Structure 1
Amino acid sequence: MSKLEELKLISQCVLVDDRRAFGKLVEAYQPRLRKFLLNLTAGDVMLTDDLAQETFVKAYVSIRSFKGISSFGTWLYRIAYNEFYNEKRRRHEDSLPDTAETCMEPTSAHQDATEAQLTVMRAMQSLNDVERTAVTLFYIEDQPIKKIALIMHMPEGSVKSSLHRAKEKMRKTINFENNYNFV
């Protein structure tokens, strides 16, 4: 979807409360947003679906507050990021998927994954939420540091530090698994 088409759809949502226009925005952003949330939730599909739905509901309700300073995608990711952390706080962090449990519970997506993908997935799960979010946005969503800083409300230097720490943690986790064949 072009920026012009996106702006047109946003304008239709704001000016005439056009639900079909918002539906087109959802169609355009849903796959990437779900992938982002799936990484944040350490593969919890049900929680991802709930968070994605809440994100789009909040975006629809508050679309008039979108000022266009950042891109619509950045604004949407920020809502998703906030929803994730609100849910995490609500569940007191203990109820979110545990890294070890998630690794041991095969889902259909995990069963179809290659061994290398599982190793990377376990390495991602060894990261804290800030590191996992930064890695997801930078390496998976291909977002620039500046945009990640906006989404995460962090200075660019902190994003870079988080990415560096995450790479080191992932490297150690992957090397450990490869050296000891814990697959």
Structure 2
Amino acid sequence: MKNASTEHLIVICQTTGDQHAFNELFARHDQALKLFLYHRLGSDNIDDIVQETYVKAFLKIKQFDGKSKFTTWLYRIAFNEFLQLKRKTSIFTRLKERWQSDSERLLSSKDSSSIYIDAQREIERLSSIQQQVFVYAELYEHSHTEISELLKIPLGSVKTYLKQAREQIRVQDDV
């Protein structure tokens, strides 16, 4: 496998799913991928994003059509993983900060259960479908496509409901 070209390794991965070919393919691109991410993110979460990128690439290797360079395709997956991580982190950071500041302001004791009660209240204010989409996306970290399949609703609807839920929570955060 070490002597095989990148193109040959891609074909092997696409046709047979050979993990040795996949490992060789990504070993060749590991340092470049990490460097690409480092220049965009700094050192935060690079290993997590690289791992998620490899998983997604392995699962979607058959979708690589060769119209672009393999590295372009791989970097696009990595960048999407970075954006997804950033979205997840930002919404949870805002919710956590709000719930913690509210609980500190309202409670003199160290009752952390109030944080969970506040979280539950925020989510309960959403419609049923918004709740489901929000929980699948934010808590269980499912992709939009996975949520669409789980809830048997169109992909566009998943995106709309998730956007609405985030906006509603953001509006409530600002009140």
TM-score, normalised via structure 2 length: 0.49
Q: Larger radius of gyration, structure 1 or 2?
A: 2
Structure with greater contact order relative to length (CA < 8 Å, sep ≥ 6)? 1
